[in-house]
Amino acid sequence: MKDVRYGSNASFRYFSVIAVCSLLVDPLASVARAQPASLQLADQAYVRLSNSTQMAPQQFTIEARFRADGPGYGHAGDSAGATIIAKPREGGSGSYIMSWALDWSATTQKAVFILTHAYPSQGVAVSSSSRIAQGSPAHVAVTFDGVTIRMYLNGQLDSYAAFGYSGVYYSSMEPVLIGAGNYDNGYLRRWQGMIDDVRVWNHVRTRDQIAESASCEPQGNEPGLLAAYDFTDQRLTDRSPNGSDGIAQGTVAFGPQAPSVLSPPRIEAIDDQLGCVGSTVQFSADASGSPPLAFAWQIADSSSAGGWRTLADGPVEGPPDEVMFIAAGSDTETLTLANLWGGGTGEWSKIRLRVNVINTCGSATSNPYDLQICAGDFNCDGGVDGGDVDAFFTVWESGGTPADLNLDGGVDGADVQYFYAHWEAGC
């Protein structure tokens, strides 16, 4: 047993420590908030993506947000136009010299999608019914289910056509290009303007999903997402699990995010934390995403559905009839836990927390992290020593509520036993 010193004339020396912890935003920006951006192409610059066998789906959805600032470069002034995104047969000549290509024509002021069955002469081209004026931003999505090509503009079905063939042409040498076709005889079809939120999926997305993506960026972890480029932080990073980052060809530039685009919430968890009895701890969730953001803090609880219980402001119970802490701000970005409980056994020996962040585009959940309460560090100085004994007995002799470690409503010998058990165990 460690030495115990009593001091009946000692003054009140209980200290309350506030520990402030932060939740970092977005894995791509380790300390700074991610900055939305868009790709700006001019002077024949474009982006090359590494070739991948996964980028050869027979059914798919391809979508992008764009704004043409000019007709483009390299014979882009005809009805086929300049390329937004394509999987071309570079250097090829003929009518159908790509697996697929999504273009915009300054001549017709329409979006064009070309799908090939047999190189270089068999395929189908679909143009939008609606016109998209130069300088006007638009979102276009094209789906193919093996039978029908459908084109959506700004979330609404605009045009469709039967393919009439069985199977899409793919060659092992074809990369995916953003902003170029690079065909023979100078038909480079280089883009001039803004491109944003380029996505390729390995399935046909529903009308509702396309309508949502017309205004919301993807999280990046959705099933079937083969490639996703939102150019956040002015990078050519692929947000899909495939990690096919782009490589700039020429000098590419970046500008503001496309207008009227909403970002889903993104958030990352912090390290485990250590608290002390009676202290107040704050956790602040600094989340990115389009406002308004809603917050819901949760505590791990095996007796709750899914193993997590959503917190509400006020006393929060752990083991039967024992209050672990007083919660405040449980539906805000900053959660405050006051009057931390002295500890427990089993799953209640530490507090496991996480936060959900929700907005119009979806939700994000932080990784769980632990807050362990050290009952032996009574003076909250980060160590377990004689100073904690002095602090405890000063409060205990005065009958102060913080000395009621066993939470039985009284300050008595049972609290002394409780304190010593945790003090001797250390932290």
Which of the two residues, 281 and 343, has the higher pLDDT score?
281
For 345, 378, 404, 409, the CA distances from 342, given in Å and listed in that order, are: 11, 9, 9, 14
Q: What ranges in 283-337 are assigned the alpha helix state H?
A: none
Mean pLDDT of the residues in the chain: 84
Quick: pLDDT tens for 126-135.
999 999 999 9
Nearest to 296 by CA among 282, 283, 312: 312
For residue 210, the SS3 value is helix
Contacts of 4 (CB under 8 A, 6+ apart): 389, 393
**Which pLDDT does position 272 carry in this prediction?**
63
Instruction: Report how far residue 381's alpha carbon sits from residue 265's, in angstroms, rounded to the nearest whole number.
Output: 36
Beta carbons of 356 and 296 less than 8 angstroms apart: yes
Give the helix/strand (H/E) hosting 351.
strand 351-359
Cα–Cα distance, 238 to 244 (Å, whole number): 5
The CA distance from 128 to 112, in Å, is: 6
pLDDT at 402: 75
Tokens (6 digits) for 307: 């193993």
Find out whether 403 and 411 touch, Cβ atoms under 8 Å: yes
Question: Are the C-beta atoms of 61 and 213 separated by less than 8 Å?
Answer: no
pLDDT of residue 126: 98
Per-residue pLDDT tens over the stretch 318-336: 765 566 788 999 999 989 9
At residue 305, what are phi and psi to the nearest 5 degrees?
-60, 130
* Sheet order of strands, 110-118 included: 122-127, 110-118, 98-105, 82-88, 176-178, 46-49, 246-249
Indicate whether this model's pTM tops 0.85: no
What is the per-residue pLDDT for 3? 31
49 pLDDT above the threshold of 80: yes
pLDDT of 221-232, one tens digit each?
789 999 999 998
CA atoms within 13 Å, Cβ hemisphere of 355: 29
What number is the average pLDDT over the span 145-160?
97
State yes or no: pLDDT of 57 exceeds 70. yes
Q: Does the pLDDT of residue 215 top 50, yes or no?
A: yes
Name which residue leads in pLDDT, 22 or 299.
299
Q: Determine the angle formed by the axes of helices 386-397 and 413-425, rounding to 10 degrees.
A: 170
Torsion of CA 381, 382, 388, 392, to 10 degrees: 80
Length of the chain: 427
pLDDT-derived band at 11 (thresholds 50, 70, 90) equals very low
Q: Could you give all domains of the chain from N- to C-terminal order, each with its CATH number?
A: 1-35+263-427 (2.60.40.10), 38-255 (2.60.120.200)
Would strands 323-328 and 334-338 be described as parallel, antiparallel, or unpaired? antiparallel
